[in-house]
Each structure stands twice: as C-alpha cells, then as structure tokens.
C-alpha cells in the first residue's frame, strides 16, 4: 500500500509523460519494465505508481524516493539511463520533485 | 491516509499547474481553500493531495473521485467554478482523469 502523507519522510517525483494515444500502452509497459528490472533495486527507491489517462494522452509516474540525493544518483545511473532511451523516443517527459503540502480525505 | 492502489474503486484526477515561483504559495493556499470550503463537501469526493515542486514551478493536485460522473458534475458546480477563477488567473492547468495501471513498493 502506497500512502500519501505530509508526515511521510520521502521526496515525491511526479513525471508527466505526453504521448500519442496509440503509444500509451507501450509506454506503460516500458515504465513497468524499467521499474521491475532496475528502479526498484536502486538505493533510495520507495515506490512507483504508474497511471494512464482515460483519454490516452498522458501517463504519470507518481514515485517516492528516500531523498533528493537518491533520486539524483538514480538519474545518473547508466542502467537507469538505458531504460530512459526508448521511453524518450515515444514520449515527452515533464518531471519535478515535490513535497506534500496538504492532504484532505472524505471524513 | 490516502492510498494508491489498483484495487481502489476510484478515478484519479491529476491536475498539473504551471506557475511562476513567486505565485506558488498563493496557488497552494487557493487550492487548500477550494478543497476545504467546497470540494470536500461535493458528492463523490474521496481525497485531494496538494503537492508543491521544490523548484517552485509546479503545483500538483492528486485527487480521487468516486466516479468520472461525480468529477464531471463537480466541474459544472457554480460554487466550484467560483474557486477556479482566481486560480486560472495565476496558473495554467493541465488536468486529466487516470486509472492506476501498476504499483511497486520497496519490499
């Protein structure tokens, strides 16, 4: 169970991929493969959560890392970079690191 | 506790706001106010999770609704629209509805 909370001691990566609808499922598969084969074994990995938009135009990876430093080390990891190449060929990524500012739930 | 899971019977709204860093905190406050005063009382609301990027350039609302129909009814709700106006004056929104395709956690 992946939990969103202001009290979680993680940094959140939200990576928004813009993709042609005909490539959306392929992109999901590449992200799943990258996560299973590489990311989840990288030091500092906490979670990855792959989302596909109902209109086919976006894929979002909502991911959690232990720290900004762990995330930045992963970006420079050659094995991780190998997975990013085919992804970059079919999608445009907009990624930023975030902190949780506030959360609300149905009471 | 907000939970991300493929088994959750919700539709996920991911709204990515592009904002000037000097307006980021104001945008967070407008979204918090909109959620507290209106959204959380709207039928079908499950959760809202406001994130601010460390670089100041983005705010993301990761929200869960009971169904697409509930979300679409909220968009047409005049009280909700009233909250959206000042937000649209300081930020550009890119929103899509999503399903959770896959989740991974540190084992």
pLDDT band per the 50, 70, 90 thresholds, residue A58: very high
Query: pLDDT at position B71, please?
Result: 96
In chain A, count of helices (H) and strands (E)? Answer: 3, 5
> Chain A partners of B2 at a C-beta cutoff of 8 Å?
3-5, 103, 105
| Nearest residue on chain B to A43, alpha-carbon basis | B106
A97, A101, A105, B3 alpha-carbon torsion, rounded to 10°: 30
Query: pLDDT at position A32, please?
Result: 97
Is B50 within 8 Å of chain A by CB? yes
Residue A54 has pLDDT above 90, yes or no: yes
Are the C-beta atoms of residues A24 and A59 closer than 8 Å to each other? Answer: yes
Between the alpha carbon of residue B77 and those of residues A65, A68, B42, B43, B73, the distances in Å are 37, 39, 9, 11, 6
How much is the ipTM here? 0.95
Is B43 within 8 Å of chain A by CB? no
B83, A12, B64, A84 alpha-carbon torsion, rounded to 10°: 110
Largest CA distance in chain B: 45
- Burial of A51 by CB count in 10 Å (0-12 exposed, 13-18 middle, 19+ buried)? buried
Q: Mean pLDDT over residues A53-59, rounded? A: 98
- When CB atoms are compared, the residue of A54, A97, A100 closest to B98 is A54
Of B105, B93, B102, residue with least CA distance to B13 = B93
The per-residue pLDDT for range A59-87, each reduced to its tens digit, is 999 999 999 999 999 999 999 999 999 99
Are the C-beta atoms of residues A59 and A50 closer than 8 Å to each other? Answer: yes
Are the C-beta atoms of residues A15 and A63 closer than 8 Å to each other? Answer: yes
The verdict on a CB contact (< 8 Å) between B103 and A47 is: yes
- What is the 3 state secondary structure string of A71-89? HHHHHHCHHHHHHHHHHHH
Residue A49 has pLDDT above 90, yes or no: yes
């Amino acid at each position: 169970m992946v939990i969103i909370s202001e009290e979680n001691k993680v940094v959140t990566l939200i990576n928004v991929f813009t993709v042609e609808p005909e490539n959306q499922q392929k992109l999901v598969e590449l992200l799943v493969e990258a996560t299973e084969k590489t990311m989840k074994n990288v030091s500092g990995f906490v979670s990855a959560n792959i989302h596909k938009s109902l209109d086919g135009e976006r894929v979002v990876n909502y991911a959690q890392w232990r720290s900004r430093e762990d995330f930045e080390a992963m970006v420079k990891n050659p094995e991780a970079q190998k997975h990013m190449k085919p992804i970059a060929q079919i999608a445009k990524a907009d990624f930023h690191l975030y902190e949780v500012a506030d959360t609300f739930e149905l009471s």
